[in-house]
């Protein structure tokens, strides 16, 4: 495909992605790889070795960096662009098998520019450690990349509105398209609403497999819920969900891990 024709295709798909609930079928990653392919190369494609083509293709970190740059300059939600300290894009391994999705940055995340660094984030890090993962092993992102604004003088955080989530969602879709994790975990009902457009009680959603674009999706409680409700039975529910995730990833599970919060 010639470069001008490819540019037209990308522009058309971006429009569809912005206006529609349904993601277009060609991922930006696929298009970026096409774009980086041997378009106009002097050798016919058949002469380009697989290894050479791999070298020409941008890696996931580069693709994510390009999205991060657009997010950093984004003003689609004018009120949030004015109130944020910075955007909070996502953190972790671009080649991660496991990706966690939360709802939106809070005050700590807005301040530090990284998702899940406040008290709830520290709990998520402990959950990861119990799963034998470091934060650097997985990828963590939110539906919303800007902190939902609060009335002047008020404290705390608010949940993002459906409109805010709908506006920001395409960036998350791109992150997932690029990373292509083997398993997704949505943390809390707001993340589920932002990702799937589904509203339901957590007790109906959690603990069983769903799918997002053919990727297995586990839904569990947001760590902030566990901070509010410290009952071992609730911790056990989240842990059982994580055990299912480990099984899906074919990770070894020790007897000690199986017995947490029993
Ligand atoms: S929340 Fe998302 S869409 Fe809205 S301004 Fe921030 S980055 Fe842009």
| pLDDT recorded at residue 40 | 40
How many A from CA of 166 to the centre of ligand 1? 10
Residue 38: what pLDDT?
44
**Distance from the alpha carbon of residue 77 to the mean position of ligand 1, in angstroms:** 5
User: pLDDT per residue over 25-73, tens digit each?
Assistant: 555 555 555 555 444 444 445 445 555 555 566 899 999 999 999 999 9
- What local confidence, expressed as pLDDT, does residue 151 receive? 84
Contact 166, 182 (CB under 8 A): no
> What pTM does this model have?
0.81
- Please tell me if the CB atom of residue 77 comes closer than 6 angstroms to any atom of ligand 1: yes
Is the Cβ atom of 141 under 6 angstroms away from ligand 1? no
**pLDDT at res. 259:** 93
pLDDT, position 39: 41
| Cβ–Cβ < 8 Å for 248, 182 | yes
* Residue 99 β-bridge partners: 139, 184
DSSP string over 73-98? T--SSHHHHHH-SS----EE-TT-SE
Sign of CA dihedral 150, 154, 157, 161: negative
| Ligand 1 pocket residue status of 167, Cβ below 6 Å | yes
Low-confidence residues of the chain: pLDDT under 70: 1-57
Res 3: pLDDT: 54
CA distances from 217 to 54, 103, 165, 208, 246 (A): 29, 15, 19, 9, 13
pLDDT confidence of residue 43: 42
Q: Are 105 and 116 in contact (CB under 8 A)?
A: no
Atom of ligand 1 nearest to the CA of 160: 1
């Amino acid at each position: 495909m010639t470069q001008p024709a490819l540019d037209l295709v990308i522009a058309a798909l971006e429009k569809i992605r912005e206006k529609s609930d349904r993601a277009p079928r060609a991922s930006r990653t696929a298009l970026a790889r096409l774009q980086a392919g041997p378009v106009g190369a002097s050798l016919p494609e058949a002469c380009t070795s697989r290894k050479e083509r791999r070298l020409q293709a941008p890696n996931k970190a580069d693709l994510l960096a390009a999205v991060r740059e657009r997010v950093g300059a984004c003003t689609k939600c004018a009120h949030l662009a004015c109130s944020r300290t910075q955007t909070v894009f996502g953190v972790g391994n671009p080649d991660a098998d496991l990706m966690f999705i939360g709802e939106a940055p809070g005050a700590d995340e807005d301040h530090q520019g990284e998702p899940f660094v406040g008290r709830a984030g520290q709990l998520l890090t402990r959950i990861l450690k119990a799963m034998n993962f470091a934060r650097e092993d997985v990828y963590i992102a939110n539906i919303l990349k800007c902190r939902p604004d609060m009335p002047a003088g008020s404290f705390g955080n608010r949940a993002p509105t459906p409109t805010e989530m709908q506006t920001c969602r395409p960036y998350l879709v791109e992150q997932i398209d690029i990373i292509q994790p083997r398993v997704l975990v949505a943390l809390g009902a707001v993340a589920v609403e932002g990702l799937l457009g589904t509203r339901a009680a957590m007790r109906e959603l959690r603990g069983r497999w769903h799918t997002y674009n053919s990727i297995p999706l586990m839904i569990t409680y947001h760590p902030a819920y566990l901070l509010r409700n410290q009952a071992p039975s609730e911790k056990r529910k989240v842990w059982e969900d994580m055990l299912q995730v480990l099984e899906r990833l074919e990770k070894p599970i020790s007897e000690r891990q199986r017995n947490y919060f029993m």
